[in-house]
Structure 1
Amino acid sequence: MATTHLYLFLLLILSSAASSSSDISSLFDFATTLTNADRLNWDTIQKPLCNDDGNSSDWTGVLCKNGAINGLRLENMSLSGTINATALVPLRLFSLSLLNNSFSGPFPADVKKLTRLRRLFLSRNNFSGAIPDKAFIGMAALREVDLANNGFVGKIPNSLIRVQLTNLTVQNNQFEGKIPDFWQEGLVANFSSNRLRGAIPDVLSYEDASMFSGNLGLCGLPLSPCPKIWYRKTAFIAAASAAAGVALISILLLLWRRRRTRPMRYQKSVNHFKSEATKAESIAADAIHNKAEEQGKIHFVRSGRERFELEDLLKAAAEVLGSGSFGSSYKALLLTGKPYVVRRFKQMSNVGKEEFYHHMRKLGRVTHPNLLPLVGFYYKKEEKLLISDFVENGSLASHLHGKRKPDQPGLDWPTRLRIVKGVARGLAHLYAEFPSLALPHGHLKSSNVLLDGAFEAVVSDYALAPVINRDHAQEFMVAHKSPESMQSDKVTRKTDVWSLGILILEVLTGRFPANYLKSGRGPGADLATWVNSVVREEWTGEVFDKEMGLGRSCEGQMLRLLKIGMCCCESNVEKRWGMEEAAARIEELKEREGDEDYSSYASEGEGYSSASRAVTDDDFSFSRAS
């Protein structure tokens, strides 16, 4: 027994020494691009990076925990030069502080490769220029960001709303435009002394007013209220406001009066609906007073959000977005400048009023960056309105299948992979949030995957199965087009995984799945069947959408995602992966062969299996035909 213990001890020492040697090499690679690096003692010290206690180091600025380096604190050292963040990727850093140095030039673009970072401090340097909107994409573990006292210009990056920030400091720069629509409750932030304008997001309304001082035109709590007529003065909004809400009133009445809606495959033209609104204008004028008596109250399910009445929606500038199997939807721009999407449902009387209210409150507690938050609802026995935030880049379906301008590129492979990862993360959260629900989503398809300003996935229309009329759900919901539903009219906790698989195949092939259509039930109406036949017969890249920008460096990762999609679409429910397995496998994928994994979810245990492993050909039920 003693011999065995000694052997294991020696293995541990050798493994630690090899790891330390690799980490030291990474540190020296990082230091070679720094000016004034002689202020570090790295080239003179011979000790291991971490001392015997495992939680301290004699190396300048090196932070250790449990015997491994986990951060760099290089502060107040007059350092300058180039920040080679790529060299630091192997170190598994959780914090990086370079505050109060002399770094200049643009924001270091490769910082986003440090996907495990929780804290990034770059304040009190001489950085300048605009920070790319996608600068923080993939940094899912990020919690604290300090960019204060630099010379940054342009807009505050929207990618910061894709992480669960707790602290943000950007004061004393030259940032302009609006403050991003942060959703993170409890966020502590300082935006003072910039050039910011517009309404302060609701989630920041409890901050001290000093955190917003010294800007050009911020308004709303905790500052003075925004003018009633304040909003962005684009040509469209100006034209819409001139109509004094007539369009929206007309559309609301049309939606209330229409007895049937026709499913749409793609978004209809806004002009078509505007013409309908014009025809109904006289009806609106006569009926508005009668309707006022019937109007109920909007019930808000999320704290710290703007409050408004149904009358405010009636006065808002309107833009009809489309009509689908669940109901019609429109965009309403309130006088405060905040846009919302209002969905109208008629086939939602499966439960009574108390149960409906209870389920909506549960949905209001769901908070995740890849899930569209429900803001509030309007209840009436015959129909319901669900209110959510507006997501600016439309749906994934419109980008995959809609008509684009000649100069507008399609979604490339890195963007599509990022979208799939976001969808998987959102689904995994739903599975954890609703452990007893057979269909945590139920209607997952590309038109219900929205894309924000940074082209991150925001999943909508989730967890509505309990309140949708059963006959309507069986006829239209994507989950009921699954093999198990076709065979026995039953769904399981793995049915949403099948929907995820179909979505993955749609993203990779660019083909519209017949599964989404009302008539998409039955043998052969399955995108997975087509993909499987092409793969088995040819095993070529012909299955992939050419608009992704194919290249040898990424074909291997595309193929791995294709295999994951097929495993999610396994017709035998017993053999099909569960949600945890599917999400973990997707999380391991990279943009190209040889890349470091740019997401920390799998490694940090944020809802994914800690035992996840690399995807290999042996893991799948199909292989290349000989």
Structure 2
Amino acid sequence: MNNNINHSPYALALPLVILVFLCFVQCLGHTQNDTRALTHFRLQADSHGYLSPNWTGADACAAFWRGVQCSPIGRVVGIELPSLNLRGPLDSLSPLSYLRFLDLHDNRLNGSVAPLSNCTSLELLYLSGNDLSGEIPPEVASLTRLLRLDLSDNNIRGPIPSELSKLTGLLTLRLQNNELSGQIPDLSVSLENLKELNMTNNEFRGGLPDAMLKKFGDVSFSGNEGLCGSTPLPVCTSPENPDPSSSSSPASVPTVPSNPNSLPQTSTITPPKSQSRKGLTPGAIVAIVVGNCVVLLVITSFVVAHCCARGGRSSNSMVGSEIGKRKSGSSYGSEKKVYANGGGDSDGTSGTERSKLVFFDRRSQFELEDLLRASAEMLGKGSLGTVYKAVLDDGCTVAVKRLKDANPCARKEFEQYMDVIGKLKHPNIVRLRAYYYAREEKLLVFDYLPNGSLHSLLHGNRGPGRIPLDWTTRISLVLGAARGVARIHAEYSAAKIPHGNIKSSNVVLDKNGVACISDFGLSLLLNPAHAIARLGGYRAPEQEEMKRLSQEADVYSFGVLLLEVLTGKTPSPPNPNPNPARLVEEEEARMDLPKWVRSVVKEEWTAEVFDQELLRYKNIEEELVSMLHVGLSCVVTEPHNRPTMAEVVKMIEDIRVEQSPLGEDYDESRNSLSPSLPTTEDGLA
């Protein structure tokens, strides 16, 4: 049979065209699925609308959505959306099977991390500083390509799953500041590539494997009081022998149980009959009388001491500390009524309620009585109160601010303001841990940051022997402060709540030298006119007439701060009580830093602007001039012409990216830069 087969080129090409078309349709379907997943995520998480202006269109990759990276075939491979106040679960991201890089740190995302187990291509996962909860799911083992995992500063609880050991390529594991519990497994063998590990400030218990302690050091596990093991950790005691020193005792010494009903019977220690028939000798009687007197004297002493101690605690706040000192005639003369457990108050609060600290974090809580007993030293006096360093009995150190001008504030209003301040969480903002309210006493408890302020580093000891503040450190501190203020503005963009008191003394450094902005929200406790007059921040020109705080004025204040860092000169705030007879001299003596910088730049003496300590560094001239332009853009006279703080952060970051080398977390094999967050307190732990 003769079959005529058509071998024309068109007939051969037709199946290939169909195959390509089917592949295109399939890829288009996957692309639409990725776009649909991102749209769902935006609708769930972006309540403030930060993504809405840009996240439009049918194809996320074709429209270049903000923070979204795509592959050449149109699949979403990266999402970078840090510090945008995003809220909601992560479920909608689970269909992104090609996702390799996810950075959502410092948002307010909640729920579990389990949905991300479906994103099996993930290599870099940064979720620190959110409100994630639940446990680390065993399905984490499906993320076999994972290189860096950061779940720090969340509310994740439960044990570390054994499946985590299957992530053999892991280089970084950060789990600090959570509520993880149970024993820490030995990951030193299975995760032999692991270079950085941080499990501090959790609730781990039991023995720490020696190999883990040797490889990563005890600093990676601090803040877990239940851990034991090799030095310097406490020695582990086995259940069979909880105290080796008490494993044996002399047979002649009877053991007395703690139960009074099971004391040894007197028949076991009956004296000889010959002695029992005899009466007591005069010497024995004298000895008994003297012994009874001594015992009675000791008991009386203890009772007196106990009563004195109770009386002291009732009549003094923070016994033995500077916080407990009272001046006669002061408004704190009735502290016994304030701190008493009984009685009422005009604010309608019972004594029991007044005696409790209100915490914003479930971890590291303590009682008011612990705070009252703490030893303390005064750190300084501000416009709204005095700040003390308080060391509790367990060694925990906090900063306590006693407010002196918020007493008229009603309880409900005060609690609303504290809720605004306390729920804001960011690595560059000093965290409010707790507060205490009573009609005549108000305390704010903050994390204690031990390394002083930017003001002291810039202006302290400007004489011989001073260690200059180098350029890299200055710009790092400025960037950290800018990120903190930008987060405040973003968090409260709708209500337009400002910081209201930006100055170099309110930029403080944590244990790792990271800049944190302090005193946020305290301006809310005063009416606007009083706040402008009392607070010592760098004042914007429009505030002289408008008499109100604003986010635009914050930008101006930050610009003055930036000029202060560049020039090394101290801006002088206006005198709230000027002397009319010396008004001209005071005005001439006052340093209007923006005005002075503009005059110098106008005369083309730009080099004269910068701090002499900075001129010793080579190859930073372009950075100095670029930063000067950022500062001047912030201090323009018209508020609407100033950049937003988010734009200021971007300008500073762009300067540093262009002029500075890549960070140590650069992964050359994957061409990815890890946001190792040098601005987080635990980033160097």
TM-score of the superposed pair, with normalisation by structure 2 = 0.51
Distance (whole Å) between structure 2 residues aligned to residue 187 and residue 505 of structure 1: 46
Distance (whole Å) between structure 2 residues aligned to residue 420 and residue 258 of structure 1: 43
| Greater RCO, CA 8 A, separation 6+ | 1
**TM superposition shift of 1:572:** 1.1
Structure 1 equivalent of residue 628 of structure 2: 562
> Which segment drifts farther, 506-515 or 467-476?
467-476
Q: Does 1:386 align with 2:401?
A: no
* Alignment partner of 2:383 out of 313, 320, 325: 325
* Alignment partner of 1:214 out of 229, 240, 245: 229
* Alignment partner of 1:553 out of 610, 616, 619: 619
**TM superposition shift of 1:366:** 0.9
- Taking a change above 3 Å as real, the CA distance of residues 400 and 69 of structure 1, as seen in their structure-2 partners, is same
Q: Deviations over 1:452-471 (max 9, x none)?
A: 22221011100222223555
Structure 2 equivalent of residue 194 of structure 1: 213
The answer to whether the 8 A contact 1:445-1:478 is kept is yes
* Alignment partner of 1:354 out of 412, 416, 420: 412
Q: Deviations over 1:339-398 (max 9, x none)?
A: 000111111146421121122123221111001110111112234111101101011111
Distance (whole Å) between structure 2 residues aligned to residue 598 and residue 409 of structure 1: 26
**TM superposition shift of 1:425:** 0.9
Q: Secondary structure at the match of 1:546?
A: coil
Structure 1 equivalent of residue 322 of structure 2: 251
Distance (whole Å) between structure 2 residues aligned to residue 303 and residue 386 of structure 1: 14
Q: Does 1:339 align with 2:397?
A: yes
**TM superposition shift of 1:172:** 4.8
Q: Deviations over 1:64-120 (max 9, x none)?
A: x9999979xxxxxxxxxxxxxxxxxxxxx99479xxxxxxxxxxxxxxxxxxxx975
**TM superposition shift of 1:437:** 3.9
Q: Deviations over 1:257-316 (max 9, x none)?
A: 68599xxxxxxxxxxxxxxxxxxxxx9xxx997775278424233223222223212322
Structure 1 equivalent of residue 367 of structure 2: 309
**TM superposition shift of 1:255:** 5.7
Q: Deviations over 1:124-173 (max 9, x none)?
A: xxxxxxxxxxxx9xx99xx99xx99xxxxxxxx9x989999999999659
- Taking a change above 3 Å as real, the CA distance of residues 549 and 305 of structure 1, as seen in their structure-2 partners, is farther
Q: Secondary structure at the match of 1:547?
A: coil
Q: Does 1:535 align with 2:554?
A: no
Letter in 2 for 1:251: E
Q: Does 1:572 align with 2:638?
A: yes
Structure 2 equivalent of residue 79 of structure 1: none
Q: Does 1:293 align with 2:312?
A: no
The answer to whether the 8 A contact 2:321-2:377 is kept is no
Structure 1 equivalent of residue 7 of structure 2: none
- Taking a change above 3 Å as real, the CA distance of residues 589 and 55 of structure 1, as seen in their structure-2 partners, is closer
Distance (whole Å) between structure 1 residues aligned to residue 591 and residue 185 of structure 2: 52
**TM superposition shift of 1:585:** 1.4
Distance (whole Å) between structure 2 residues aligned to residue 405 and residue 308 of structure 1: 43
- Give unpaired runs (5+ residues) of structure 1: 1-49, 57-64, 72-92, 98-117, 123-135, 149-156, 174-178, 225-243, 262-282, 607-626
Distance (whole Å) between structure 2 residues aligned to residue 446 and residue 484 of structure 1: 21
- Taking a change above 3 Å as real, the CA distance of residues 566 and 479 of structure 1, as seen in their structure-2 partners, is same
- Taking a change above 3 Å as real, the CA distance of residues 403 and 479 of structure 1, as seen in their structure-2 partners, is closer
**TM superposition shift of 1:539:** 3.0
> Which segment drifts farther, 454-463 or 309-318?
309-318
Q: Secondary structure at the match of 2:400?
A: strand
Q: Greater CA radius of gyration, 1 or 2?
A: 2
Structure 2 equivalent of residue 504 of structure 1: 562
- Taking a change above 3 Å as real, the CA distance of residues 412 and 513 of structure 1, as seen in their structure-2 partners, is same
Distance (whole Å) between structure 1 residues aligned to residue 175 and residue 357 of structure 2: 25
Distance (whole Å) between structure 1 residues aligned to residue 567 and residue 177 of structure 2: 29
- Taking a change above 3 Å as real, the CA distance of residues 324 and 339 of structure 1, as seen in their structure-2 partners, is same
**TM superposition shift of 1:449:** 0.7
Q: Secondary structure at the match of 1:377?
A: strand
Distance (whole Å) between structure 2 residues aligned to residue 473 and residue 556 of structure 1: 38
Q: Does 1:486 align with 2:557?
A: no
- Taking a change above 3 Å as real, the CA distance of residues 297 and 476 of structure 1, as seen in their structure-2 partners, is same
The answer to whether the 8 A contact 1:589-1:597 is kept is no
Q: Secondary structure at the match of 1:483?
A: coil
Q: Does 1:434 align with 2:453?
A: no
Distance (whole Å) between structure 1 residues aligned to residue 599 and residue 445 of structure 2: 42
Q: How many residues align?
A: 423
Distance (whole Å) between structure 1 residues aligned to residue 655 and residue 180 of structure 2: 28
Q: Secondary structure at the match of 1:494?
A: helix
What's the Cα RMSD here? 5.4
Distance (whole Å) between structure 1 residues aligned to residue 406 and residue 428 of structure 2: 25
**TM superposition shift of 1:215:** 4.5
Distance (whole Å) between structure 2 residues aligned to residue 563 and residue 307 of structure 1: 45
Structure 1 equivalent of residue 54 of structure 2: none
Q: Secondary structure at the match of 1:458?
A: strand
Letter in 2 for 1:254: K
**TM superposition shift of 1:409:** 2.1
Q: Secondary structure at the match of 1:441?
A: coil
Q: Secondary structure at the match of 1:588?
A: helix
- Taking a change above 3 Å as real, the CA distance of residues 94 and 558 of structure 1, as seen in their structure-2 partners, is farther
Structure 1 equivalent of residue 655 of structure 2: 589
Distance (whole Å) between structure 2 residues aligned to residue 375 and residue 325 of structure 1: 21
- Taking a change above 3 Å as real, the CA distance of residues 444 and 388 of structure 1, as seen in their structure-2 partners, is same
Q: Deviations over 1:563-599 (max 9, x none)?
A: 1111111111121222222222122121773645999
Letter in 1 for 2:323: L
Alignment of 1:235-250 (within 5 A): 249-250=320-321
**TM superposition shift of 1:200:** 7.3
Q: Secondary structure at the match of 1:341?
A: strand
Q: Secondary structure at the match of 1:429?
A: helix
Structure 2 equivalent of residue 526 of structure 1: 592
- Taking a change above 3 Å as real, the CA distance of residues 218 and 599 of structure 1, as seen in their structure-2 partners, is closer
> Which segment drifts farther, 428-437 or 332-341?
428-437
Q: Secondary structure at the match of 1:574?
A: helix
Q: Does 1:495 align with 2:553?
A: yes
Q: Does 1:396 align with 2:454?
A: yes
Distance (whole Å) between structure 2 residues aligned to residue 510 and residue 392 of structure 1: 23
The answer to whether the 8 A contact 2:356-2:436 is kept is yes
Letter in 2 for 1:214: G
Letter in 2 for 1:369: P
TM-score of the superposed pair, with normalisation by structure 1 = 0.55
Identity within the alignment, %: 31
Structure 1 equivalent of residue 287 of structure 2: none
The answer to whether the 8 A contact 1:316-1:334 is kept is yes
- Taking a change above 3 Å as real, the CA distance of residues 257 and 501 of structure 1, as seen in their structure-2 partners, is farther
